[in-house]
């Protein structure tokens, strides 16, 4: 049966499955002005909630909010079958001692978060510590989503012969030299998935931040090794979203700004290839 929403018909045979989805996931960045009121977020979810799978707090913004307000937002998201992710914040806990991360997981669960994101580049912890964090998140009943960049501090790259999984590598001083190593990204991501991580977020920097500078070779290698279902890419603008959907189809998982939700859903639909422009006018993107 097809459902009609003005400019587009949604058919179960043509589009993604109903929520909760394992692929074709759309995770959106929360509006920055939701710090002051949840009304803009409520308007977005009321009108487009069926197209949104996840909500990510921007830049640790939940750390600035009262607990009661956080619960309002997480409850609102759950009302629309939208999971809630902490975003990039856990690295700020490292200075609080060894028990801080476990306490953070418990607090996130209490506040209604469903997913904890781990930015490996910001955390700068040994690989085994990152895997321990993944296991702590999973044992706490939440989903774990490590985030990796394609560039590493040169000191993080094991020398030849020391790349075996779990092998002890003597620590070396950090350098200021940054190098690209997609194989190391994939190996670390694979270990996180083996430890129980639910999905891997790929940092847009140096990979897919700009549509005219997309690294198709890196993206293809990551998807080829980790699988489309287990990876999520940040699409910084509508042109980047269009590239991903054209190349990998509607099943690709994307993290986007809240202003791009409807445009991305148009791209995921059966009209792709016949139209390139958004079904919405530019005034929508001024929200």
| Cα gap 72→63, rounded to integer Å | 15
Q: What pTM value is reported for the model?
A: 0.81
Q: What percent of the chain has pLDDT over 70?
A: 73
Q: Which of the two residues, 158 and 100, has the higher pLDDT score?
A: 100
**pLDDT confidence bin for 253, thresholds 50/70/90:** very high
Average pLDDT over residues 261-271: 83
| Cα gap 247→241, rounded to integer Å | 10
Average pLDDT over residues 140-144: 97
Spatial CA neighbour of 15 closest among 274, 277, 265, 256: 265
| Cα gap 273→183, rounded to integer Å | 33
173-202 b/e (C-beta count within 10 Å ≥ 16 → b): eeeeeeeebbebbbbbbbbbbebebbbbbb
Lowest mean pLDDT among 27-36, 83-92, 236-245: 27-36
Q: What percent of the chain has pLDDT over 90?
A: 46
Spatial CA neighbour of 222 closest among 195, 242, 203: 203
| Cα gap 76→155, rounded to integer Å | 44
Contact by Cβ (8 Å): 126, 94: no
Contact by Cβ (8 Å): 235, 253: no
pLDDT for 144: 97
Give the pLDDT confidence of 166-199 residue by residue, as tens digits. 555 555 565 567 778 899 999 999 999 999 999 9
Q: Which of the two residues, 14 and 159, has the higher pLDDT score?
A: 159
Average pLDDT over residues 30-54: 82
Structural tokens at position 142 = 């939440």
User: Rg (Cα) of the chain, in Å, rounded?
Assistant: 19
Q: What is the 3-state secondary structure (H, E, C) of the chain?
A: CEEEECCEEEECCCCCCCCCCCCCCEEEECCHHHHCCCHHHHHHHHHHHHHCCEEECHHHHHHHCCHHHHHHHHHHHHHCCCEEECCCCHHHHHHHCCCHHHHHHHHHHHHCCCEEEEEHHHHCCCHHHHHHHHHHHHHCCCEEEEEECCEEEHHHCCCCCCCCCCCCCCCCCCCCCEEECHHHHHHHHHHHHHCCCCCEEECCCCCCCCHHHCCHHHHHHHHHHHCHHHEEEECCCHHHHHHHHHHHCCCCEEEEEHHHHHHHHHHHCCCECCECCCCCCHHHHHC
pLDDT for 158: 64
pLDDT for 171: 57
* Cα 64 from chain centroid (whole Å): 21
Average pLDDT, rounded, for the chain: 80
pLDDT for 36: 58
pLDDT for 285: 38
Tell me: pLDDT of 123 over 50.
yes
Residue with token string 């476990």: 102
Peptide bond into 259 cis (omega under 30): no
CA distances from 272 to 84, 222, 255 (A): 29, 24, 19
Structural tokens at position 205 = 């920097």
Tell me: pLDDT of 165 over 70.
no
Give the pLDDT confidence of 207-247 residue by residue, as tens digits. 888 777 889 999 999 999 999 999 999 998 899 999 999 99
């Amino acid at each position: 049966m097809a459902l009609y929403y003005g400019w587009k018909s949604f058919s179960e045979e043509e589009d993604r499955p109903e929520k909760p989805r394992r692929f074709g996931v759309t995770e959106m960045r929360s509006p920055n002005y939701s710090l002051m009121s949840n009304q803009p977020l409520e308007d977005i979810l009321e009108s487009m909630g069926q197209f949104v799978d996840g909500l990510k707090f921007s830049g640790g913004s939940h750390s600035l909010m009262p607990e009661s307000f956080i619960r309002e937002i997480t409850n609102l998201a759950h009302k629309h079958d939208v999971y809630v992710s902490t975003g990039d914040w856990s690295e700020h806990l490292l200075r609080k001692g060894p028990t801080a991360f476990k306490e953070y997981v418990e607090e996130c669960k209490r506040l209604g978060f469903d997913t904890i994101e781990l930015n490996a580049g910001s955390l700068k912890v040994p690989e085994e510590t990152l895997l321990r964090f993944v296991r702590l998140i999973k044992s706490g009943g939440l989903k774990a989503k490590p985030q990796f960049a394609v560039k590493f501090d040169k000191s993080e790259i094991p020398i030849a012969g020391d790349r075996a999984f779990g092998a002890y590598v003597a620590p070396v001083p950090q350098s200021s030299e940054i190098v690209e190593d997609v194989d190391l990204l994939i190996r670390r991501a694979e270990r996180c998935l083996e430890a129980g991580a639910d999905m891997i977020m790929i940092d847009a920097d140096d990979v897919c931040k700009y549509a005219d500078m997309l690294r198709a070779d890196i993206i293809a290698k990551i998807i080829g090794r980790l699988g489309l279902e287990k990876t999520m890419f940040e699409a910084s603008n509508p042109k980047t979203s269009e590239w991903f959907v054209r190349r990998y189809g509607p099943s690709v998982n994307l993290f986007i700004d809240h202003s791009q939700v409807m445009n991305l859903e148009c791209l995921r639909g059966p009209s792709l290839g016949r139209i390139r422009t958004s079904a919405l006018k530019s005034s929508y993107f001024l929200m």
